[in-house]
Structure 1
Amino acid sequence: MARPYAEVIGDPIGHTKSPLIHSFWLEALGIDAEYRATHVTPDALPGYFATRAADPDWRGCNITVPHKVAALAHVEDREDVRTSIGAINTVIRAEDGALTGTNTDASGFAAPLAGLDLAAKPVTVIGAGGAARAVLFALSDMAVGPVTLFNRDVAKGADLLSSFGLEGQALPIGEAVPPSALLVNATSLGMTGQPPLALDLSALPAEAVVYDIVYAPLETGLLAAARGRGLVGIDGLEMLIGQAAVAFRLFFGAEPPRDRDDELRRRLLA
């Protein structure tokens, strides 16, 4: 007999740790369901959603690179995520059967920053893709500023800052990093199989925080450089687990056991 299931889709998908997270929570709560990883290429994205829409056991999916923007064209946008963030990372089946998109990345990103006062503080962000949109959305809620955004396409970076109402500047990757209270890598640079992200962090003050959303490897070159300078580093598992917790509630209607996060991290690092 088929079991309810959710999954994560992306291209590539081999690096994902999402199945380990959701499976840990499902096992801990005794829920008879499954969470999978499914390789979906850009060309296969329309067919994927059409197939899943007809599968009664499918509870939804998380979305990783490169589909976070493209997926919006294939599901309903009842929360107006297209206007607010411009990218989705989660799709669920609504009560009427429609597939609807949402974004749990923004809350997942913000969670480990909850104790910091970043209001009116300078921030640097690397990237202007789907993950960067969620990061900038969260930063705008924190009233940070100014923001320096590094991206290969400077015009796209400037447009993105403007769309979130953030003051600052867009620069090409490779320019000097300005003094910042927070630096965020919101790209896949530094991820296993991707080019490294080499930044000169010498301008960051001693109290700066460096946040890398990459989690494979967990200790990226950027975080190693930050810790070599004695700076606080936040790794990609923080955001991954935070956004997964919100998605888990949507998929399975249960609260994940966050009191077991230490055990979960040990499993993820094993």
Structure 2
Amino acid sequence: MSITAATKVFGIIGDPVGHSLSPIMHNAWIADHGLDAVYVALPLKSDDPTAAIRAMKGLGFSGLNVTVPHKEAAAAAADRSEGAVANVLRWEEDGSVSAFNTDGAGFLDALSETAPDWRGRVQRVLMLGAGGAAQAIGQALSPHVVTIHFANRTAARAETAASAIRNGRVLRWDDLERGFGAADLVVQTTTLSMDGQPEQVWPLDYCRPTVIAADIVYRPLETEFLRAARARGLLGMDGLGMLIHQGARAFDLWFGIKPDTAKARERLIAALK
């Protein structure tokens, strides 16, 4: 493709972003629809990310995805936001910035693909982690379930996440066995599954056989958490589904186009290989 001054620039900001598959996914969708746009990965290291994101207003971006650790800063930096955590920014015609969060809805889309009957079988959720993604997923799941327990190594973050939803609760990190035993859906949102992290032994043996185990990490695609869950006979959901569906919703916010999610999965699996 030819990049000119008229080409719209989109991207992903975070620290780190070198592992992100979003450029492959979005640039392929851009090509599918013949759009004059490009999507790039931009590492953002800053002691004041809110100010850094506000300073990007004059740089000509049309839209950005936001990943860890800048989702709260992105919401704060925008002129208008749907909530306190954002993973999508959109520059409007008047130069203002709107913030959205597609993580939660993207997770539900992926969950419905993996387990179409989940609404009838999930009443109690255990959320491992309490960062921006966990909060967004919790917000999305909250109207459909009875309770959501947040377990986080830093207890204060779990308390903040739990207090933001009507049926949020806190589970102590040293009480995971009880949490796994009570849950219908366990969602792993921490970085503990990522490549290069120390191995974490999860108490999946305490799970009932009907439990759904979801990991939002996609590098590696088959995490130790998922491998152990599937060895236990549990239904597992990898992180590609959420990545693709939150990205598809972002693409729609930017272009008004619903892209092909099945094609995206084929492309990303090939890229991971």
Q: Give the TM-score taking structure 1 as reference length.
A: 0.89
Partners of 2:212 and 2:268 in 1: how far apart? 21
| Count, aligned residues | 263
In the alignment, is the contact (CA less than 8 A) between 1:42 and 1:67 conserved in 2?
Answer: no
2:143 maps to a residue whose letter is D
In the alignment, is the contact (CA less than 8 A) between 2:187 and 2:213 conserved in 1?
Answer: yes
Percent of residue pairs bearing the same amino acid type: 36
| TM superposition shift of 1:71 | 2.2
Structure 2: runs of 5+ lacking an equivalent: none
**1:234-245 matches, cutoff 5 A:** 234-245=237-248
2:209 maps to a residue whose letter is A
**Is 2:130 the partner of 1:128?**
yes
Q: Secondary structure at the match of 1:256?
A: coil
| TM superposition shift of 1:158 | 3.0
CA 1:100/1:130 → structure 2, altered by over 3 Å: closer, same or farther?
same
Q: 1:207 aligns with which of 190, 210, 222?
A: 210
Partners of 1:78 and 1:182 in 2: how far apart? 29
| TM superposition shift of 1:168 | 3.7
| TM superposition shift of 1:78 | 4.1
Equivalent residue for 1:113?
A: 111
In the alignment, is the contact (CA less than 8 A) between 2:107 and 2:245 conserved in 1?
Answer: yes
Equivalent residue for 1:153?
A: 154
Q: Secondary structure at the match of 1:136?
A: helix
Q: Give the TM-score taking structure 2 as reference length.
A: 0.88
Partners of 1:51 and 1:257 in 2: how far apart? 33
Q: Secondary structure at the match of 2:171?
A: strand
| TM superposition shift of 1:49 | 2.6
Partners of 1:153 and 1:221 in 2: how far apart? 22
Equivalent residue for 2:87?
A: 89
In the alignment, is the contact (CA less than 8 A) between 1:120 and 1:146 conserved in 2?
Answer: no
Q: 1:137 aligns with which of 139, 151, 162?
A: 139
Partners of 1:160 and 1:199 in 2: how far apart? 21
Equivalent residue for 2:41?
A: 37
CA 1:118/1:167 → structure 2, altered by over 3 Å: closer, same or farther?
farther
Q: Secondary structure at the match of 2:142?
A: helix
1:153 maps to a residue whose letter is T
Structure 1: runs of 5+ lacking an equivalent: none
RMSD: 2.0
Partners of 2:19 and 2:49 in 1: how far apart? 19
Partners of 2:50 and 2:149 in 1: how far apart? 35
Partners of 1:167 and 1:4 in 2: how far apart? 40
Partners of 1:256 and 1:65 in 2: how far apart? 24
Q: Secondary structure at the match of 2:64?
A: strand
More helix by share: 2
In the alignment, is the contact (CA less than 8 A) between 1:5 and 1:33 conserved in 2?
Answer: yes
| TM superposition shift of 1:55 | 2.8
Q: Secondary structure at the match of 2:205?
A: coil
CA 1:180/1:267 → structure 2, altered by over 3 Å: closer, same or farther?
same
**1:9-48 matches, cutoff 5 A:** 9-43=13-47, 45-46=49-50, 48=52
